[in-house]
Structure 1
């Protein structure tokens, strides 16, 4: 009885050993818990591109310059009790280092995304050029085949020149043998 209680509810094989429950293949697995938060790489990449575009503008440089000037002026000329960063401006240096440490990877990420887009564009252009070359070669072969075929066909100009040659020959015969031409009439 104890063996039956142990395997009650769990499927058993031919040997009577309990097997783990089967997962249904027609249903998706439940998502696993992760230690790190999940994020969408595309939306993060778009955000990094927007930040990188903003960091590369004169507007950013102007605002950054104004903030640094205001920081230095405030901490140099404000009353001593109101100053929050003394003369060597250690906190300002920390803030600028922090901003640079985040800006550099974001700019690199944006450049990598742009390089990936460029690579896809170049690949598409290369395939389009290959198709154009193949089409041009096909048309060249078709035109050559048409020219070869037309070389054997009597053209209007060729027939006209042949008829003119025959007329000239007839006129010369009439000039050489006028009596024969009058009898024929």
Structure 2
């Protein structure tokens, strides 16, 4: 006799009750099912896109390394100091020791340093990938050069065995000299270039 019990998906799960039957349904419980996605875990920290954050850090680090940042920083500090020295005492928000200015500058430096390091790490990663690609390209270029060198050497060896015009000319000149040394002269042609025996 089959006993039915509802599962958490709203369907029905059947199992056989009996000693000799065995189970026909999936065993559900503490084990995770592989056919369903896992529930998202709750995190205390908010989710963020590391690539977007890295690009933002590179932009900030690039701006911090420009002359424009130095000019703006100098203007802000100058206006801050001049305002807090020359303004009426009721309008001064940071009197002479300029403690608030020191706090702002140290806060800016404490954020700038990690952002610059993050941008440098990303640049190092890009440089490492570029160097790896250049190394592979150099290896391919060396392999191609060695292959072409072997092919050129094989062609030179093959051309060394081919008869050339200069070699054939020198061999014919040697043969003519040998014939002249042995006094073997070809019969002279008469008249119109034919021998008398041809008539």
Report TM bin, short chain: 0.7 to 0.9
- Normalising by structure 2, we get a TM-score of 0.77
Pair 1:89–1:12, CA change in 2 (3 A) = farther
Aligned residue-pair number: 172
The residue number in structure 2 matching 1:99 is: 108
* Structure 2 unaligned blocks of 5 or more: 8-12, 16-21, 189-199
* Aligned-residue RMSD, C-alpha: 2.5
The residue number in structure 2 matching 1:134 is: 143
Q: Give the structure, 1 or 2, with the largest relative contact order (CA under 8 Å, sep 6 or more).
A: 1
* Alpha-carbon distance, 1:142 to partner: 1.4
- Is the contact made by 1:12 and 1:19 (CA closer than 8 Å) also made in structure 2? no
- Is the contact made by 1:74 and 1:83 (CA closer than 8 Å) also made in structure 2? yes
**Secondary structure of 2:93's match?**
coil
The residue number in structure 1 matching 2:197 is: none
- Normalising by structure 1, we get a TM-score of 0.82
The residue number in structure 1 matching 2:52 is: 43
For residues 37 and 22 of structure 1, the distance between their equivalents in structure 2, rounded to whole angstroms, comes to: 26
Structure 1 ranges of 4+ moved more than 6 A: none
Q: In proportion to residue count, which structure has more helix?
A: 1
